[in-house]
Amino acid sequence: MGDVRFTGNWNSVNAHTVPKWYEDCKFGIFIHWGIYSVPAFAPHTWELGEVDSKEWFADNPYAEWYYNSLNIGKGPTYKHHIEKYGKDFKYEDFIPMWKAENWDPKQWAEIFKEAGAEYVVLTTKHHDGFCLFPSKYTHFNSVEMGPKRNITGELTEAVRDAGIRMGLYYSGLIDWQYANDPIFEDDDLFGTASPTFAYADYSYNQMKELVDDYAPSVFWNDIGWPTQSEEMMPYFLAHYYNKVPEGVVNDRFNGRYYDFLTKEYKSGSVNRNEKWEMCRGMGLSFGYNANEGDDKLISVPNLISLLVGTVANNGNLLLNIGPKADGTIPEEQVRRLKILGAWLKVNHDGIYGTRCSDRESELLENGIELHYTQKDGNLNVFADHLKEGANEFLIKGYHGALRPFDPAVKVETEDTAEGLFVKIPEYKEDMYVVGLTNRF
């Protein structure tokens, strides 16, 4: 792969394939951190994909959209802002309040490591246009304002030192420094909110700047690419792959290109035959929303179910954290990461480096769901939605021995004509999804 040179045309770029590391790694951490982490407010409404876009933007649960929610001049965020900060307080006035005074990138990297993450994706510039890196092309960045630190550079170093791959998110289409008409519906995204030729040049330069300065393992573009410079897209991709042959990009390139497909909450369609990635926050927002306490976040059992169901169907999970403005990760988010990490440690070989099995996930009549993965000819079976106490199920058509990854889980099996009959006599809730393998 390292010898292939890409040139700036689609024929060349289309020859790029998904690298093995990205197929193997299964679990990454997404980070949304920015000016919006100061007000940290959004209504806790719905998941993306549950309502039409007009409803969505009027009651937007994404705290990182604070600027737009304010800009539309009505609704819960607008009301909150007027009440708490007053009419004259502008979004930019939050910048000096973002101090990141307790930020320790090494400590973040340790938490990600403990969570079992094999890659990280940081928002280097979200839709508000504020850059978390020193840029030759703007002063509107975290080194000159706010935290006064190169967040992208410092975190990239800490993450790589911890042996984790570093990826970068960039809001390719939307930048409210260049076009700040309010977004009321999806049509506005490529419409009134889509900026100028000047922005098309600016974003192209910045994307190259990010590639050249940080060589990210994932280039995670958001929403789309300025239509004014669409013909530059293969140039950028060729430049990226030449610099980072093992790099990957997502599917937000105006339908023109992808290495992997994305699903975000209930939005996006994916399939078992192509590599995909599920991304979501722990609550309904990516940016920190101080409204979302522990009870509003995804439960630990649901989080582990999400991971297993994703991996068994050819996906990676890119789980988002929303740090506070001071640079600490909210305790209820850290707790989830730690439990997930402990589960992943035990079930390691059934998840990392696996591929989805020929056996598709199945929901049994008793409510138990079975998921399968395979690796080097071995089969791994994950039993989800078990009940406290005794559980029984049949793995149809499978004949052979299985053992639990977790030696603390008691499992009895019996080979029958229809398949392997499995009994888990003493299931406890804190075992979460039970992983079994035929590798001894």
* Residue 176 burial (CB count, 10 A): 21
| Minimum CB–partner distance for residue 26 and ligand GLC (Å) | 18
| Minimum CB–partner distance for residue 104 and ligand GLC (Å) | 24
Site residue total, ligand GLC (CB under 6 A): 9
Contact with ligand GLC (CB under 6 A) among 279, 321, 351, 383: 279
Give residues with Cβ within 8 angstroms of 41, minimum separation 6.
63, 66, 77, 80, 81, 289, 290, 291
| Minimum CB–partner distance for residue 318 and ligand GLC (Å) | 8
331: its two tokens: 């305790």
* Residue 139 burial (CB count, 10 A): 10
Question: Could you give the dihedral angle defined by the CA atoms of residues 336, 46, 127 and 255, in that order, rounded to the nearest 10 degrees?
Answer: 100
Q: Is 420 exposed, middle or buried (0-12, 13-18, 19+ CB in 10 A)?
A: buried
Site mask, ligand GLC, residues 30-69, x = CB under 6 A?
A: --x-----------------------------x-xx----
Q: Please tell me whether residue 35 adopts helix, strand or coil conformation.
A: helix
The residue (of 279 and 434) whose beta carbon lies closer to ligand GLC is 279
Q: How many helices and strands (H and E) does the chain possess?
A: 12, 17
Q: If we measure between CA atoms, which residue out of 48, 46, 43 comes closest to residue 75? A: 43
Are the C-beta atoms of 130 and 35 separated by less than 8 Å?
A: yes
State the Cα–Cα distance between residues 283 and 298, nearest whole angstrom: 6
The residue (of 186 and 212) whose beta carbon lies closer to ligand GLC is 186
| Minimum CB–partner distance for residue 150 and ligand GLC (Å) | 21
The residue (of 233 and 318) whose beta carbon lies closer to ligand GLC is 318
β-bridge mates for residue 135, sequence order = 138
Residue 286 binds to ligand GLC (criterion: CB under 6 A):
yes
Contact with ligand GLC (CB under 6 A) among 223, 290, 346, 364: 223
The residue (of 223 and 290) whose beta carbon lies closer to ligand GLC is 223
Beta-strand pair 119-125/419-427: unpaired
Site mask, ligand GLC, residues 141-180, x = CB under 6 A?
A: ----------------------------------------
Beta-strand pair 119-125/27-31: parallel
Are the C-beta atoms of 308 and 380 separated by less than 8 Å?
A: no
| Minimum CB–partner distance for residue 65 and ligand GLC (Å) | 6
| Minimum CB–partner distance for residue 88 and ligand GLC (Å) | 26
Q: What is the DSSP letter of 71?
A: H
The residue (of 172 and 234) whose beta carbon lies closer to ligand GLC is 172
The residue (of 223 and 342) whose beta carbon lies closer to ligand GLC is 223
| Minimum CB–partner distance for residue 240 and ligand GLC (Å) | 19
The residue (of 92 and 264) whose beta carbon lies closer to ligand GLC is 264
Q: How many CA atoms lie within 13 Å of 363's alpha carbon, on the beta-carbon side?
A: 3
The residue (of 202 and 286) whose beta carbon lies closer to ligand GLC is 286
Contact with ligand GLC (CB under 6 A) among 222, 274, 326, 332: 222
Give residues 248-267 in contact with ligand GLC (rule: CB under 6 A).
264
| Minimum CB–partner distance for residue 32 and ligand GLC (Å) | 6
Residue 334 binds to ligand GLC (criterion: CB under 6 A):
no
Q: Where are the alpha helices (DSSP H) in 73-150?
A: 76-85, 105-115
State the Cα–Cα distance between residues 307 and 36, nearest whole angstrom: 28
State the Cα–Cα distance between residues 66 and 92, nearest whole angstrom: 11
Beta-strand pair 248-249/261-264: unpaired
Residue 294 binds to ligand GLC (criterion: CB under 6 A):
no
Task: Report the interface residues with ligand GLC, using CB under 6 A.
Answer: 32, 62, 64-65, 222-223, 264, 279, 286
